[in-house]
Amino acid sequence: MVDKKLAGAGLRGQSAGETALCTVGKSGSGLTYRGYDISDLADNTSFEEVAYLLFNGELPNKAQLETYKTELFALRDLPQALKAVLQAIPADTHPMDVMRTGCSFLGNLEPEVDFNQQKKAANRLLAAFPAIMCYWYKFSHDHVEIDCITDEESLAGHFLHLLNGKAPSQLHRRVMDVSLILYAEHEFNASTFTARVCASTLSDMFSCITGAIGTLRGPLHGGANEAAMDMIQSFASPADAKIQMAGMLERKEKIMGFGHAIYRTSDPRNVIIKSWSEKLAQEFGDASLYDISVACEEFMWDSKKLFCNADFFHASAYHFMGVPTKLFTPIFVCSRLTGWASHVMEQRSNNRIIRPSADYIGAEPRKVLPISER
């Protein structure tokens, strides 16, 4: 990968610490979790195996995986007090604010009082996030109080089942599982760095994750998949997409789902989710959204050498599986929780408070004038 000249803005290009969790833009296809290439993980593991890998350092064997899945299964339901809070959140609330509140309130009910409980707290959030999202969504939008337990084996299937009120197809289960694997971890991205800064003050797990959710919410980070969906849906055809996008670039608008702070020529997650999106389009029986997405990708590369990041083809993939656009970024939370919590644990294992310096560009030293003279 080619290194880009980067000025200091946004701390770009500066190392802000060490990690054994992930490499971005370095070896293999460009993304590894604990030494495993992302394409290998996406082809050969489940999201629960990846969560175990991130939390424990090694992939589980069969018995360890079964034990872990049983543990997560038992942690899926929500306490009544949390359901009551979710019921009180209005339907027009941004779903990322719901995730933030859900996480924070669970931390009130089941606080991490000792760092020995860090994995327990992380697993609790991992198991409960799908229900936090779907319980609020179904209650506020459809006036239905859903049961937060399903018999689905995987968290991917559990989420789709809660959302649609019925068992998903094998294809949908697998695509959601792959999606959760792709989004799980990404080194020192903005939301993870937020979690690490919070952890460095020796704060609790729920505070670290709540802060990270707030950071992921923005359209320059996790919010891009929803913004990409809105844009793709506004195009009438592949030809129209190219015309509209040319206008957006002319007006210097940012095109969501394209570009990356670290990758220079491609995001290795894109080719994976793109191929699943194509399969879903065939199953859906209407490939127009996929064809428009491909036209966007071609146009951006031809005109600006900008490539799709992980978010772009996630938009059509989620849409084909019947996921409402406003829940796209909350799914990212359900997955990235694994990366965030692993970084919190790693920060704690070798901690020094994160406190960089700033280059001062303000006024010269001066005296306070009495208020009557100002």
Ligand X SMILES: CC(=O)SCCNC(=O)CCNC(=O)[C@H](O)C(C)(C)COP(=O)(O)OP(=O)(O)OC[C@H]1O[C@@H](n2cnc3c(N)ncnc32)[C@H](O)[C@@H]1OP(=O)(O)O
Looking at beta carbons only, is 148 or 300 nearer to ligand X? Answer: 300
Distance CA 187, CA 129 (A): 22
- Is residue 186 a contact point for ligand OAA (CB under 6 A)? yes
Kindly state whether residue 345 participates in binding ligand OAA, applying the rule CB under 6 A. no
Place of tokens 């939301």: 191
Cβ-based nearer residue to ligand X, 106 or 323 = 323
The active-site residue out of 260, 314, 319, 343 is 260
* Min CB(309)–ligand OAA separation in Å: 6
Stretch that binds ligand X, among 24-32, 122-130, 196-204, 250-258 (CB under 6 A): 250-258
- The position carrying tokens 């995001």 is 267
- Shortest CB 117 distance to ligand X, Å: 29
Q: Which amino acid is at 106?
A: L
| Closest listed residue to residue 227, CA positions, set 168, 314, 353 | 314
Query: CA 295 to CA 341: how far, in whole Å?
Result: 37
Rule CB under 6 A: is residue 310 a binding residue for ligand OAA?
Answer: yes
> Considering beta carbons, is residue 67 or 303 the nearer one to ligand X?
303
For ligand X, the closer CB: 156 or 310: 310
Does the CA dihedral 154-156-160-163 come out positive or negative? positive
| Residue with smaller CB distance to ligand X, 255 or 344 | 255
Structure tokens at 240: 């129209």
Q: Does 189 sit near ligand OAA (CB under 6 A)?
A: yes
Q: How far is the CB of 186 from ligand OAA (least distance, A)?
A: 3
311 is annotated as an active-site residue: yes
Nearest-approach distance from CB 321 to ligand X, in angstroms: 19
Strands of the sheet with 31-33, listed across from one edge: 22-24, 31-33, 36-37
Question: Pattern of binders to ligand OAA over 262-281, x per CB under 6 A?
Answer: x-------------------
Residue of 250, 243, 260 whose CA lies nearest to 299: 243
H or E element that contains 278 = helix 268-284
Query: Of the listed 311, 314, 319, 343, which one is catalytic?
Result: 311
Cβ atoms 321, 160 nearer than 8 A: yes
| Interface mask toward ligand X for 253-282; x: CB under 6 A | -xxxxxxxx---------------------
* Minimum distance of ligand OAA from residue 31's CB (angstroms): 9
**How many residues in the shown chain lie near ligand OAA by CB under 6 A?**
6
Query: Does the footprint of ligand X cover residue 222 (CB under 6 A)?
Result: yes
Min. distance of Cβ 310 from ligand OAA in angstroms?
6
43 — phi, psi (to 5°)? -85, -30
Q: State the catalytic residue, choosing from 77, 94, 221, 291.
A: 221
221 given a catalytic annotation: yes
Q: For ligand X, which residue has the nearest CB? A: 259
Whichever of 221 and 326 has its CB closer to ligand X, that residue is 221
CA atoms within 13 A on the CB side of 121: 28
Dist. CA 17–CA 347, nearest whole Å: 9
> What's the burial of 147, exposed, middle or buried (CB within 10 Å: 0-12/13-18/19+)?
exposed
Residues forming a β-bridge with 24: 31
- Which helix (H) or strand (E) segment is 320 a member of? helix 310-320
Type of residue at 283: E
Residues carrying an active site annotation: 221, 260, 311
Residues interacting with ligand OAA, by CB under 6 A? 186, 189, 261-262, 309-310
Residues that bind ligand X (CB under 6 A): 220-222, 224, 254-261, 306, 309-311
